[in-house]
Structure 1
Amino acid sequence: MAPFKIFVQYLSNLSFTSPMAPALFFKKDTKANINVKLDVKTQQSDENTFLVSLSSVIENKLEGDKDTATIFTLKIEYNAVIQIDGSITEEEDRKKILLVYVPTTIFPAFRQQISDITTASGYPQFNMEIVDFESMYTKNRQQKND
């Protein structure tokens, strides 16, 4: 049996602002700098049922000589309601399921939402880099232990 079951995945929050549109679409030779912040959160519903959330803030800023102007800001939250197999009782195993395995499983759909939104907004397709949730988990654990 799999260590967890996903009941549903869904987009729970979305905000897209493009303060420079449509004027930006007529500019040539623009250089942009994209900054991505990603977070994983969990919330327990009952003994074995959890909500796992991937959230991100993506800021695309125009690089200029005098100041940096925002091209677009995308805020997105994507959730999964999951159930962990009742035979998995070790806290460390449960944390890895919630913070590594589930995010790794739902990330492709999350990434696709981001790509679709940027494209539908008139901008070039933005493909978020693949995230190594295992490394992220290990790094966060080490920081908490220091």
Structure 2
Amino acid sequence: MADEPAFAPDQGFPANGEDTSPAVGLITQYVKDLSFENPNAPMIFQSQAQPRIDVQFNIGSSVIGDGVYEVVLKIDAKASVDDQVAFVVDLSYAGLFGVRNVPEDQLQPFLLAEAPRLIFPFARRVVADVTRDGNYPPLMLEPIDFGALYMAQAQDQFGALQGEPAGQA
């Protein structure tokens, strides 16, 4: 009994002290691309009408190196008053994430749901600052449930594979 090792190799304990537990970390985040257009200034500032604001989001990820992924949150916002464009904001905000020992089936949900959630508050601040600097009230984007968006997209893709119309799964 005293001769038995404390850990048996078949119990799943790391060999030679190697850490096999899943881990992710934000390495850095940055503005990858930013454009602000104020095409009808200064005449647009005379308008008292409330602008219509259209905001679109897109998320992409790519492998940068061994265990390093870049996640890019693209935000396009356009404000219009009547038939005139007040401003256009195009922002690509990125984060580099280190990923170790994450199961393959969990990698995509992390990269397309959790990682954007982590960098969104910083991208939101950039959008608010640039619209304020363009002489507009800061555009404060509402929080986004990236997890729910990911699940809805996954269901739509599953429904498409099953031959169902999008949104019917």
Query: TM-score higher than 0.5 here?
Result: yes
12, 19, 26: which one aligns with 1:6: 26
Deviation string 1:96-141 (CA, Å, 9 cap, x unpaired) is: 2111111111110000000000001100111011110001100110
> Contact 1:4–1:97 at 8 Å: present in 2 too?
no
> Structure 1: which amino acid aligns with 2:86?
I
Aligned with residue 131 of structure 1, among 138, 144, 147? 144
Provide the residue aligned with 1:104 in structure 2.
Answer: 117
Q: Provide runs of 4+ in structure 1 moved above 6 Å.
A: none
Residue number among 60, 63, 78 corresponding to 2:93 in the alignment: 78
Question: Is the partner of 1:20 in helix, strand or coil?
Answer: coil
For residue 46 of structure 1, report the CA deviation from its aligned partner: 2.5
C-alpha distance in 2 between matches for 1:2 and 1:124: 43
* Matching residue's letter, 1:54: L
What are the equivalent positions in structure 2 for 1:44-123 lying under 5 Å apart? 44-63=63-82, 68-84=83-99, 86-88=100-102, 90-123=103-136
Structure 1, unaligned runs of 5 or more: none
Contact 2:64-2:70 within 8 A present in 1 as well: yes
Check whether the contact 2:22–2:101 (CA below 8 A) recurs between aligned residues.
no
**Other-structure match for 1:22:** 42
8 Å Cα contact 1:57/1:76 also seen in 2: yes
Letter in 1 for 2:111: L
Q: Which is greater in Rg?
A: 2
| Aligned residues between the structures | 139
User: Within 2, Cα distance between the matches of 1:3 and 1:110?
Assistant: 24
Q: Secondary structure at the match of 2:135?
A: coil
> What TM-score, normalized by structure 1, do the two folds share?
0.90
Ranked by relative contact order (alpha carbons within 8 Å, sequence separation 6 or more), the top structure is: 1
Equivalent-residue separation in structure 2 for 1:43 and 1:142 (angstroms): 22
Distance 1:2 1:9 in 2: 21
Counterpart code for 1:144: Q
Q: Secondary structure at the match of 1:103?
A: helix
Instruction: Tell me how far apart the structure 2 counterparts of residues 59 and 25 of structure 1 sit (CA, whole Å).
Output: 16
> What is the percentage of aligned positions where both structures have the same residue?
23
Map Cα deviations across residues 61-95 of structure 1 (whole Å, 9 max, x no partner): 113xxxx21111110000011111x221x222111
